[in-house]
């Protein structure tokens, strides 16, 4: 179950917004987290920070180590998502080097979301797994924020401080170089965080000998009525080559801009052309929000969005305009979505309120999904939804993708069966129309030009003359060529031939040579809790 409420509003308007971009996927078993200093309207109340963890497999043991203050273990099942309170002492202060980090380990894949709260200020961030961190980062240019970037930064007052980088080292001693107008070389011990002040006219690059996590932001960016709040987001490692970034609708171009890190530039948002190309990262800035955009090459097929208590939480989906019927929330298609065009692109978008934990997936291609919301004080928060998988499948969210292996040489049907079994696979049984469509598409993308005729796991019984699948599925959906199959005295095994983009079947002598197609089933998300 995945209760949602459709809302066709500006995705990122004055009442909503988000923050963070994505690696290939967001799942892992080791995570390192820091909580930036949050001044929160100059209010001296202690922080109430949290971490949200979602498990993908049953009996996942999660260990949470809060510096030297506390260590706890929890067990979560597939699809289960919980929030855990973080010791207030872990919030970073003005110190340049800090040992206060949160370390999370698990026995199976999880996603992690950090939630930073202080008085009326709230921000969220998607935590990148340790094995997907990088060694090279390029911060975006600093946005123009009246009252924050146009004041005398020589004052030793936190809310008048410059923007900063937070560089979090993993679990080995490391050397990090921050090169700009001047060069700093940082020697970081395991799990240490360094903070580096930024000057608008001299943005540095960050390189490290070993992978690190880098965040960018301000502890007290000005908002309305002489108040300020936390503004920050994690950064992704430097990508390679030019990439296209669709821009989620912001509701208004006022005070909205795009921050491009390659080359460094601040570009006003054009609401009539919501796509930008860059060789680096792209961050959408709105008052109260930094949202690194997801490049088309980093789209995913399955995401999780968790509702945060006492907030309005929503998801925004960007998908190809001709494939909206493939978007699902939980087990069902979206209930009466109201799709709107994304100007200057081939995408459409919709927004819906999330009432609980929700798994959003597409049956045949990749897309972008963002998470966002507002708390009771109107504070904006959010991040791109954690990516569970980049492998579309008509059956649901893929945890481990299916295996489709075409043999390296032609052989008879019995030999093909044995060839697949020797690899702990099976000669493929494509017994349903949706599975046929998915398999054909995958073959077109992967097979070599020399492969034309292929054996599949359908043959005729020597005793009854009836057709049967090797995996015992019923023989209902077939794709026989015209005039096929022949009578009971014709061929006994099924050959599939590539004819352009179609795959007609024929019954053939089982001793004829053809290439085997071996198959291994995917592992799909099977939540044991109602979400």
For residue 451, what is the domain's CATH number? Answer: 3.10.100.10
What tokens appear for 325 in the block? 């019927």
* Calpha distance 75→93 (Å, rounded): 32
Residue 77 within any structural domain of the chain:
yes
What is the distance between the terminal CA atoms of the chain, rounded to a whole angstrom? Answer: 5
Residue 130 within any structural domain of the chain:
yes
Do residues 248 and 351 make contact, with C-beta atoms less than 8 angstroms apart? no
Residue 14 within any structural domain of the chain:
no
Question: Of 401, 386, 356, 407, which Cα lies nearest the Cα of 514?
Answer: 407
Do residues 174 and 134 make contact, with C-beta atoms less than 8 angstroms apart? no
List, in sequence order, every beta strand (DSSP E) within 422-503: 426-427, 453-460, 467-469, 493-497
- Predicted pLDDT of residue 93: 83
Give the domain-ending residue among 193, 217, 235: 235
Residue 377 within any structural domain of the chain:
no
Give the domain-ending residue among 218, 235, 252: 235
In the 8-state DSSP scheme, what is residue 394? Answer: T
Give the domain-ending residue among 206, 235, 264: 235
- Predicted pLDDT of residue 41: 64
Q: Is the dihedral of CA 143, 145, 150, 153 positive or negative?
A: negative
Residue 474 within any structural domain of the chain:
yes
Question: Of 4, 114, 3, 102, which Cα lies nearest the Cα of 53?
Answer: 114
**Domain of 413, in residue numbers:** 403-520
- Residues 6 or more apart from 442 whose CB is under 8 A from it? 404
How many structural domains does the chain have? 2
Residue 84 within any structural domain of the chain:
yes
Q: Note down pLDDT in tens along the chain; length 531 residues.
A: 576 677 665 665 544 333 334 457 899 999 999 999 988 766 678 889 999 999 999 999 999 999 999 999 999 999 999 999 999 999 998 778 999 999 999 999 999 999 999 887 889 999 999 999 999 999 999 998 888 888 776 555 666 778 999 999 999 999 999 998 889 999 999 999 999 988 877 788 999 999 999 999 999 888 777 778 899 999 988 777 889 999 998 766 568 899 999 888 999 989 999 999 998 889 999 888 899 899 999 999 999 999 988 889 999 999 999 999 999 999 889 888 999 999 999 999 999 999 888 999 999 999 999 999 888 877 888 899 999 999 999 999 999 999 999 999 999 999 999 999 999 999 999 999 999 999 999 998 877 777 889 999 999 998 999 999 999 999 999 999 999 999 988 899 999 998 888 999 999 999 999 999 999 999 999 876 544
Q: For residue 424, how many other CB atoms are within 10 A of its CB?
A: 9
Alpha helices in 49-201 (DSSP H): none
- Predicted pLDDT of residue 223: 78
* Calpha distance 345→274 (Å, rounded): 7
- Residues 6 or more apart from 285 whose CB is under 8 A from it? 143, 256, 257, 258, 259, 291
Only one residue has tokens 């949706």, namely: 434
* Calpha distance 88→472 (Å, rounded): 58
Only one residue has tokens 């292996």, namely: 405
Do residues 243 and 297 make contact, with C-beta atoms less than 8 angstroms apart? yes
What tokens appear for 99 in the block? 């040992």
Question: Of 105, 125, 54, which Cα lies nearest the Cα of 291?
Answer: 125
Residue 64 within any structural domain of the chain:
yes
Alpha helices in 20-74 (DSSP H): none
In the 8-state DSSP scheme, what is residue 437? Answer: H
Residue 47 within any structural domain of the chain:
yes
Q: For residue 181, how many other CB atoms are within 10 A of its CB?
A: 9
Do residues 366 and 299 make contact, with C-beta atoms less than 8 angstroms apart? yes
* Calpha distance 442→452 (Å, rounded): 15
What tokens appear for 14 in the block? 């004055």
* Calpha distance 409→517 (Å, rounded): 11
164 to 37, 86, 155, 528: CA distances (angstroms) = 11, 23, 16, 42
């Amino acid at each position: 179950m995945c209760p949602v409420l459709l809302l066709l509003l500006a995705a990122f308007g004055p009442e909503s917004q988000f923050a963070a971009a994505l690696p290939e996927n967001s799942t892992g078993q080791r995570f390192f987290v820091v909580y930036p200093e949050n001044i929160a309207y100059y209010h001296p109340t202690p922080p109430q920070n949290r971490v949200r963890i979602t498990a993908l497999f049953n009996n996942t043991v999660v260990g949470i180590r809060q510096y030297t203050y506390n260590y706890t273990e929890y067990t979560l099942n597939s699809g289960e998502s919980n929030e855990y309170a973080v010791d207030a002492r872990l919030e970073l202060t003005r110190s340049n080097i800090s040992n206060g980090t949160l370390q999370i380990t698990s026995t199976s894949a999880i996603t992690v979301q950090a939630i930073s709260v202080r008085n009326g200020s709230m921000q969220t961030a998607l935590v990148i797994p340790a094995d997907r961190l990088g060694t090279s980062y390029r911060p975006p240019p600093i946005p123009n924020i009246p009252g924050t970037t146009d004041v005398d930064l020589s004052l030793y007052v936190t809310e008048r401080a410059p923007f900063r980088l937070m560089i979090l080292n993993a679990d080995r001693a490391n050397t990090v170089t921050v090169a700009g107008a001047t060069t700093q070389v940082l020697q970081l011990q395991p799990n240490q965080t360094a903070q580096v002040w930024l000057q608008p006219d001299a943005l540095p690059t960050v390189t490290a000998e070993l992978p690190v996590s880098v965040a960018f932001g301000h502890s007290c960016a000005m908002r309305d009525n002489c108040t300020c709040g936390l503004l920050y987001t994690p950064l992704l490692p430097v990508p390679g080559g030019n990439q296209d970034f669709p821009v989620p609708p912001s509701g208004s171009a006022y005070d909205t801009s795009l921050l491009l890190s390659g080359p460094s530039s601040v570009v006003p948002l054009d609401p009539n052309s919501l796509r930008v190309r860059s060789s680096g990262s792209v961050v959408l800035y709105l008052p109260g929000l930094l949202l690194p955009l997801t490049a088309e090459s980093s789209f995913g097929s399955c995401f999780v969005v968790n509702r945060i208590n006492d907030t309005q939480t929503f998801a925004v989906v960007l998908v190809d305009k001709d494939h909206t019927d493939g978007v699902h929330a939980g087990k069902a298609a979206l209930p009466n979505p109201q799709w709107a065009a994304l100007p200057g692109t081939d995408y459409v978008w919709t927004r819906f309120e999330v009432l609980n934990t929700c798994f959003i997936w597409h049956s045949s291609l990749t897309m972008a999904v963002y998470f966002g919301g507002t708390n009771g004080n109107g504070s904006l928060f959010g991040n791109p939804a954690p990516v569970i998988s980049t492998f579309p499948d008509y059956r649901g969210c893929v945890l481990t993708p299916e295996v489709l292996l075409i043999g390296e040489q032609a052989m008879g049907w019995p030999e093909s069966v044995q060839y697949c079994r020797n690899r702990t696979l099976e000669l493929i049984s494509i017994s349903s129309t949706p599975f046929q469509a998915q398999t054909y598409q995958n073959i077109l993308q992967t097979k070599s030009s020399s492969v034309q005729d292929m054996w599949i796991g359908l043959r005729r019984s020597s005793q009854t003359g009836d057709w049967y699948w090797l995996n015992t599925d019923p023989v209902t959906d077939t794709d026989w060529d015209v005039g096929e199959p022949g009578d009971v005295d014709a061929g006994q095994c099924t050959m599939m031939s590539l004819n352009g983009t179609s795959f007609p079947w024929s019954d053939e002598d089982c001793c004829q040579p053809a290439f085997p197609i071996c198959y291994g089933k995917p592992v799909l998300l099977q939540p044991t809790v109602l979400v």
